[in-house]
Structure formats: structure tokens, C-alpha cells
Amino acid sequence: MATRLNTRAAAAKLSWQIIDKGVSLDAAITTHFETTDASAQDRGFTQELVYGVCRWYGELDAVAKQLLKSPIRNKDRVIHFVLLVGLYQLRKLETAEHAAVGETVSACKQLNKQWAKNLINGCLRTYQRNPIELPGDQNRLSHPDWIREAIENAWPEHATSIFVANNKRPPMCLRVNQMFSDRANYLAQLNDVDIPAAADPNTGNGIILDQPCPVTQLPNFDQGACSVQDTAAQIAAELLAPAPGMTVLDACAAPGGKTAHLLEQCNNRLDMDALDISERRCEQLHATLARLKLNANVYAADAAVRSSWAVPTAGYDRILIDAPCSGLGVIRRHPDIKHHRRPSDIDSLISIQAKLLDQLWPLLKPNGQLLYTTCSILPDENIEQIRRFIALQNDAMLTPLSHPNAISLEYGAQTLPGVNGMDGFYYCLLEKKAH
């Protein structure tokens, strides 16, 4: 059936699966594209519609409710998402209105809901005649109440900027593999194939593309010339800065971006252990390392259980804990976080983070350094986690770190979406005192 769906029908079905059924956005899109023979243009448009509905669901849903005389029955909920797809085109895109309406109405038949054509046509035509304006800030509206309140409590001065950034399309950022080429050379290669780009001012090897493109269009991507990685994620390896020959642990490594960056910095001359609790994600990690021609000892292991992998007798010179977290700093890249994350998740994540810190600290050599990082902007997962940890460890010493576009905190530093052009990441570098 998937091969016969037009872009609007596909987008409605995928959005329904993501928002109502809890399927991850990445998984839904990947599965759909694996089973469809759609053109690159249709794939791109389908993806735009799905991301758009996930980003702007709060606003679109509020408008839809005003247009519908009564809610659509649960068994026909996919039709509600057909309406949202139509509204997204009319409100947010420059799609020709006749196509936005006509093709969206056609989606009803493709989804075996022929009866809904008149309903969707009526709603979209009504909207065309009288576009509905909602009171207040639509960026704010398009966040669940608990996420909105958490951000406003944590960052009152920056909350509006964060809401706006979370609903924007993020830039596509690259990290040049310094073992393959330098940044200036790779920028020239991009220019040769008409991919406009600029050096990222916040990182040593980062590049920001003017427009996203498939990785297949990037020069020598399959040969390991570069990786796709946000600026904020690139900063982590630069802060930890291991030296060649060191023993390093990346405790939550998959899909391998930071593992690879650490190895690239040292010309692949690290004794690197890379862990992930998921065997499937370890396969991604192996694939990342293979493409970039890098070497690491990969373990499908729980970093909080020391017996689950072969810990070096002498311990580690450097440890990276890229801890499982709420992901509230990367909503612009993963808008399904708004729909899948729950307030109850936070306490369990905080518990996992604390356990990782407590269990991995003894594996760090004296004078060694541990970088704790998350892609969250919630203090409970970040500064308060470190405050708790330092109170318990008499040999943990805070290493000052600063970055021109990060906010310096009592413990560590924080980037925020909308404040610095990056994703929201927290970093704290700790050093173990020698006895």
C-alpha cells in the first residue's frame, strides 16, 4: 500500500503513527522509505510535511478543532492528520493553495476513507476563506504544557527564544575528518560540487551547509571525509581533548559520532573502549567506525555494570559520559520528543545518570578527566546532577571550561537552542585528584 500513497496521504499516516501510536519519527520515516519507490522530490516533501506536523502539532490541532464540528472518531483518527497536513501547507508552506487542498483531499481515498473527502475539503475551504488566528504565541502553544513549564522555570529569560528555535528547521552541520582532509580543503570540495557552506565559528572542524542535502551528495562521504554532527555535539570531544596513546572510555557511545571525533583528534591512536547497552545500536557504532576507518573496542554492555565489559586494569585516562537524557535540547532535530517524552521519564533518567557517574568514577585514573554531557536543558539532569555528585566525592575537582557561545554555570556550561545557533547541550569536566 505504501508505494501507492501520495505525499499527503503518506505524511498523514506517518504523523498519525508517530503522534498517536508512539512510533519514533526516524523509525517511521525510514520504514516508509524502505517500502516505497517515491522520487527524491516526493521523499523530501513527505519528510517536510511529517516534521512540520510534529513541530507545529499544538497550533495545527487548535485550528483543526475550530474547523471540525465534532472530533473525528478514534478509528478514523488518521483523517484528523490529513486535516493537519493540509493546514500545515496553508499556514506554514508556500504550496500552491489548489494543490494543498486538492492533493490533501485525494489522500482520503488513498487511505480508504472516501467518506472523509467532503469533510476535509469543507474544512480547508473554510480556512482559505477565513484563516483562523490564534491568540498568543504559536511557538509556545506547540509545546506540551509540562515541557513549556519546565523550560520557562529553568530559563525564564531565554524561554521565548528556545520555543522559537525548537520549531525552526535546524541547519545541517558537518564535522570534517581531520585524518582525511582539513576544513578549508573540504569547503573547497563542497564548492566544486555547488554545495554552499561556511566554516562553523564555534568548532575546529565544523562546517554549516546553507541547505541540507543527502549525504550521498557530500564529496567522499562514504570514504570517511566527514560526518553529520551538530556544533554542540562537536564541542564535547574538543573539551575532553585526549592525547594520543591514552586509554579512553565512551560510556554511551552509539551511534558513534563522539567516539569517532575523539579518535580523529588523535589520528586513531587511542586505546578506545566504546559501550552501548543496545546490540542494535552497537551495529550502528561499528558502521560509523568502519566508514571512517577508525578502531575501537566495541562492547554491547551496560556502563553502569562494571562486570559487563573488560575494564583495563589501570583504568582510564579519559571518560566520556554522554548520558541518556530527556533530549529537550534537541527538539528542533527530533520534534517527536514533544509527543513521546513524559514528565515521569525524568526521574528514571536522573537515576540512570547518577548511577553512571557513581559507577564510572572509580574507573578514572588519578589526574584523569571525565566529561559529563547531555542534550538536555533541564537543570535536574545537568547542574543539579553534578552538584549531587561532587558532594559525594571528595576526589572530584571541577575543571573550569568556557565557550564563547555557552552559558557558564556554577558547575559546567550550557548551550541553548535559539541563543547560540546550536542544539542545547550541557557539559561539565571533572578531574580526579591524585591521592
Question: Which of 410, 406, 411, 401 shows the shortest CA–CA distance to 425?
Answer: 406
Question: Which whole-number Å values give the CA distances from 257 to 8, 202, 374, in the listed order?
Answer: 33, 17, 14
Whether the link from the prior residue into 255 is cis, omega within 30° of 0, is yes
The answer to whether 415 touches 424, Cβ cutoff 8 Å, is yes
User: Is the torsion defined by CA of 206, 208, 212, 217 positive or negative?
Assistant: negative
Q: Residue 168: how many CA atoms within 13 Å on its side-chain side? A: 15
Cα dihedral 285/291/296/297 (nearest 10): 50
Q: Are 14 and 29 in contact (CB under 8 A)?
A: yes
Angle (deg, nearest 10), helices 40-55 and 25-34: 160
The amino acid that residue 88 corresponds to is Y
The partner residues of 364 in beta bridges, in order of sequence, read 316
- DSSP string across 159-172: HHHHHHHHTSPPPP
Q: How many CB atoms lie within 10 A of CB 231?
A: 23
CA distance 394 to 191: 53
Identified catalytic residue from 252, 266, 325, 375: 375
Rounded CA-CA distance 420/422 in Å is 5
- Find all residues with CB under 8 Å of 326, minimum gap 6, and list them: 337, 341, 345, 346, 349, 376, 378, 381
Phi, psi of 130 (to 5 degrees): -135, 80
Q: Catalytic site residue 375?
A: yes
- 248 CB contacts (<8 Å, ≥6 apart)? 242, 262, 270, 271, 272, 273, 316, 317, 318, 319, 320
Which residue is it, cell 514528565?
Answer: 343
Q: Are 109 and 102 in contact (CB under 8 A)?
A: no
Catalytically annotated residues: 375
